[in-house]
Amino acid sequence: MAGGVTTAHPRPRLTIAAETAAGPRRSIRLMPWLPIGVIGFFVLVAIAAPLLTSYDPLKINLVDRLHPPIWVNGGSADHILGSDGFGRDELARLLYGARVSFLVAAFALVIAVALGLSLGVIAGYVGNTVDAMLMRLVDILLALPTILVALVVAVAVGPSFQNLVLLLGLLIWPRIARLIRGETIVVKKQDYVRYSSAIGVPGWVVVVRHVIPNVLPTLLVLTTLEIGHVILVEASLSFLGAGLPASSVTWGKMIADGRALVATGWWIALFPGLAITATVMSFNSLGDWIRDYLDPRTRHL
Amino acid sequence: MGRVVITRLAQAGFSLLALLLLVFSLVRLTGDPAYFYLPPDANRQQVEFTRRQLGMDLPLPVQFATYVGNVLQGDLGISFKGRTLGTRVVDLVGQRLPNTMIMGGAAMVLILCIGVPLGIYAAYWRGSGLDRGARLMAALGQSVPSFWLGLLLILVFAVWIQVLPSGGFSGPSNLILPAITLSVGSIAGLSRLLRSSMIEVLTSDYIGFHRMKGLPERSVIWKHALRNAGLTTLGYLGVVTASLLTGSVLVETVFVWPGTGRLLIESIEIRDFPVVQGLILLYGGVYIGLNLFVDVLYTVLNPRLRTA
C-alpha cells in the first residue's frame, strides 16, 4: 500500500472495494488457456497412444524391470519414464491409462447427464407427487458415501468397464438432477413460459423449447466439474483394486503398483499421480471459469 | 421449526433403511459365500450345511427382516471368518474404531486449525500473495488424489529423509503423515468456501458499521464477520466428514493403519458379509446422522430457514 496514510484499517477495505468494482470481471474474461491446453494435451496423447509409443503397456519383460527415468543415473532412452516392477514401460502405461480415465469419465457422465437432466426437468416441471418422490430418491442417493458404495458394488458385481461406468453414472446423476430441478422451477415461473402454457402449447414443447435451453449453462458447468470428480473416484477404486479388470491399464492401478515399490522405484507412482492431479485440476478450473463466465448468479453453486 | 426437524429426522431414518437394503442386496450379489468357506471339492451336503449354518437358506426378505431386527438391538451378527470362534462383528469393529477415530480426529483438528484461518485471512487480504498462494494450494489440494499424496509423503519422509515411520500404528509419530494426507482435501475445500463467504460478509454494510463504531479489527473479523460467514460454511462440515470417512479407507490402505477402513477392504476381499454390512451401516449412519445434525443446527441458527 503506497501513501502510508494511517487510518484504523485502510488496506483490506480498499482492496475489497476496488476488486468488487472492476477486478474479478476483467480477469474472469481471460480464456483459461492453461487448463484447456493440459486437457487438450491429455486427450491428444490418449487418442494417439499407439503412435507415440511402440511398447505394449501390458507386456511383461522381467529383464528390463525397474529402469529409472532417462534423466536419472542408470536410466536409458529405451524407457524414457522408466519401467515398473514387471519391466513394463511407464510412458506407454501412462499414455494408455489416459484413454481409460477419459473413456470412463465420458461414459459415466453421459449416463449421469441423461438421467440427471431428464429426471431433474421432470421433477421441476411436473412438480407435486412426482417431484416429491424423485427428490426423496435423490436425497437418499446423496446420503450414500460414493466411494464406499462404489467399492462394495464393484466387488459385488465384479470389475468390468460397463459395471464401473454404469455405477458411476448412477451415483452422480442425483447431484445433477437436484440442481437442474431448481433451475427448471425458476424457468417455469418466468412469464413467457407461463404464457406459452396458457395459450395451449403442450408441456413437452415448453420443456424442449424453453426449459432445456435455459438449464444448459448450469448443466455444462456441473458436467465439467464432475469430470474431475469421476476421474478421482475411478483412480481411487482402481487403487483399491475394485475399478477395472486386471487386463486394463489405469493411472490408479499404476499408483497401486508403485506403492509396493516406493523405496526402489519412486517413479512408478509419481507420474500417474501427477497426470491425475494435472487433469483434475484443469477440469476444475475450467468448470469454475465457465461458471463465472456464463452466469455470475451461479457463483455459489 | 419442530416440524422441520421431525421431517428431517424421518428422512434420515428412511435413508438409513435404504442404505441397509442396498448393502444387504448388493453384498449378496458377490456370489454364494458358502462356497467361499468350503474346499473346492465340497459335496452338496456340506454346502447345504454351511448355508444353513450361515442362515443363507432362508428366504431373502426373512434374512433382511432378521438382520434389521438384530441391528436395532445392537447385534451386527457374527463374522463369517470368525464364526467358529463366535467373533462378533460389533467387537471386530469396536477394536478398530478407536484407531480410525484417532486419525479422523487428528485430521479434523488440522482442517479447522489451518482451513479456518486460511479462509479468513485470504478473504481479508484479498488479492495479496497469501490469498493467491492459498487459492493455488486449495485448487491443488482439491485435485490431488489423497492416496497418491500419502505415497509421496512416505517417499519423502520415510524413505528419503527417514524421520517418520511409513505405516502401522505404534506411536504418535505414526499419526503425522496419515493425518496430513487425510486433511489436505478438506482444508482446501473449507478455506475456499470460507474465503468466498467471508468476502461477501466483509463488504457488507453492517461490517462497515462495526468498523465505524471503532471495534478492534480482530473482533470485527473473528466475531461479527465469522459468525455470519461461518454459518454458510457449517453445512460444509457434513461434506468434510464424508470425505474423512471415504478418505480413511484410502489413507488407511496406504499407511497400513489398523482402522475400520482397512477392515472394510479386508472383509470385502474375503467376502465377510456381516462385517461389510456392519461397516457400511456404521459409515453411512455417521454420514447421514452428521448431515442431519448440520441441517438441524442450520435451521436453529438461521431463522430464515425455519419455515422452509
| E strand map for chain B | none
- Domains of chain A as residue ranges with CATH: 19-294 (1.10.3720.10)
| pLDDT higher at B118 or B217 | B118
User: How do residues B171-184 score in pLDDT, each as one tens digit?
Assistant: 888 899 999 999 99
Nearest by CB: B14 against A8, A140, A255: A140
| Closest CA–CA distance from residue B282 to any residue of chain A (Å) | 11
Q: How confident is the model at residue B222, as a pLDDT?
A: 83
Mutate to test the interface with B, among A11, A13, A155, A267 (most CBs of B within 10 A): A155
Do A239 and B145 make contact, defined as CB atoms within 8 angstroms? yes
d(CA A275, CA A98): 8
How many Cβ pairs within 8 Å bridge chains A and B?
149
| Closest CA–CA distance from residue A167 to any residue of chain B (Å) | 12
Q: How confident is the model at residue A60, as a pLDDT?
A: 79
User: C-alpha cell of A41?
Assistant: 494435451
| Closest CA–CA distance from residue B14 to any residue of chain A (Å) | 8
d(CA B90, CA B87): 9
Do A252 and B145 make contact, defined as CB atoms within 8 angstroms? yes
Most confidently modeled range among A114-118, A144-148, A215-219, B241-245: A114-118
User: What is the C-alpha R_g of chain A?
Assistant: 24
Closest chain B residue to A229, measured at CA: B143
**A31, amino acid identity:** M
User: How do residues A60-92 score in pLDDT, each as one tens digit?
Assistant: 777 777 778 877 777 677 777 777 777 788 888
Q: How confident is the model at residue B110, as a pLDDT?
A: 94
For residue B153, list its beta bridge partners. Answer: none
Do A163 and A154 form a contact (C-beta atoms < 8 A)? yes
Do A269 and B148 make contact, defined as CB atoms within 8 angstroms? yes
**A83, amino acid identity:** S
Select the CATH number that applies to the domain covering B99-272 from these four: 1.20.140.10, 1.10.3720.10, 2.30.30.100, 1.10.287.130.
1.10.3720.10
Mutate to test the interface with B, among A133, A148, A250 (most CBs of B within 10 A): A148
Give yes or no for B156 touching A (CB within 8 A). Answer: no
d(CA A154, CA A253): 15
In this predicted structure, the answer to whether residue A281 has a pLDDT above a threshold of 90 is yes
Q: Which residues of A touch B19 (CB under 8 A)?
A: 140, 143-144
Q: How confident is the model at residue A90, as a pLDDT?
A: 84
Nearest by CB: B15 against A13, A139, A232: A139
Q: Which residues of B touch A260 (CB under 8 A)?
A: none
SS3 of residue A75 by DSSP: coil
Residues B70-85 have a mean pLDDT of 77
Closest chain A residue to B162, measured at CA: A263
Give yes or no for B214 touching A (CB within 8 A). Answer: yes
Q: How confident is the model at residue A4, as a pLDDT?
A: 38
Give percent above pLDDT 70 in chain B.
Answer: 92
Min mean pLDDT across A10-14, A230-234, B123-127, B148-152 is at A10-14
**In whole angstroms, what separates CA B46 from the centre of its chain?**
41
User: How do residues A128-149 score in pLDDT, each as one tens digit?
Assistant: 888 888 888 887 787 777 777 7
Of A127, A117, A128, A97, the residue nearest A169 (C-alpha): A117
Q: Which residues of A touch B149 (CB under 8 A)?
A: 273
Looking up cell 437432466, which residue turns up?
Answer: A117
Residues B213-217 have a mean pLDDT of 84
Q: Which residues of B touch A148 (CB under 8 A)?
A: 245-246, 249, 264, 280, 283-284
d(CA B75, CA A152): 21
Q: How confident is the model at residue A300, as a pLDDT?
A: 46
| Closest CA–CA distance from residue A23 to any residue of chain B (Å) | 10
Do A252 and A239 form a contact (C-beta atoms < 8 A)? yes
Question: What's the pTM value of the predicted model, to 2 decimals?
Answer: 0.84
Give yes or no for B77 touching A (CB within 8 A). Answer: no
Do B268 and A152 make contact, defined as CB atoms within 8 angstroms? yes
Q: How confident is the model at residue A235, as a pLDDT?
A: 92
Closest chain B residue to A27, measured at CA: B127
Give yes or no for B242 touching A (CB within 8 A). Answer: yes
Do B145 and A148 make contact, defined as CB atoms within 8 angstroms? no
Do A220 and A290 form a contact (C-beta atoms < 8 A)? yes
Residues B128-138 have a mean pLDDT of 89
- What is the rounded average pLDDT for all residues in chain A? 81
Q: Which residues of B touch A16 (CB under 8 A)?
A: 126, 199, 202-203
Q: How confident is the model at residue A297, as a pLDDT?
A: 55
| Closest CA–CA distance from residue A300 to any residue of chain B (Å) | 8
Nearest by CB: A263 against B159, B268, B284: B159
Nearest by CB: A143 against B15, B143, B154: B15
Nearest by CB: A19 against B127, B147, B245: B127
Nearest by CB: A262 against B155, B250, B291: B155
Residues B23-45 have a mean pLDDT of 70
d(CA B275, CA B82): 11
User: How do residues A238-265 score in pLDDT, each as one tens digit?
Assistant: 898 887 887 888 999 889 888 888 878 8
| pLDDT higher at A184 or B284 | A184
Of B167, B159, B228, the residue nearest B200 (C-alpha): B228
Do B148 and A276 make contact, defined as CB atoms within 8 angstroms? yes
Min mean pLDDT across A22-26, A271-275, B17-21, B86-90 is at A22-26
Q: Which residues of A touch B241 (CB under 8 A)?
A: none
- What is the rounded average pLDDT for all residues in chain B? 83
In this predicted structure, the answer to whether residue B271 has a pLDDT above a threshold of 50 is yes
Closest chain A residue to B19, measured at CA: A144
Residues 6+ apart with CB under 8 A from B2: none
d(CA A157, CA A163): 7
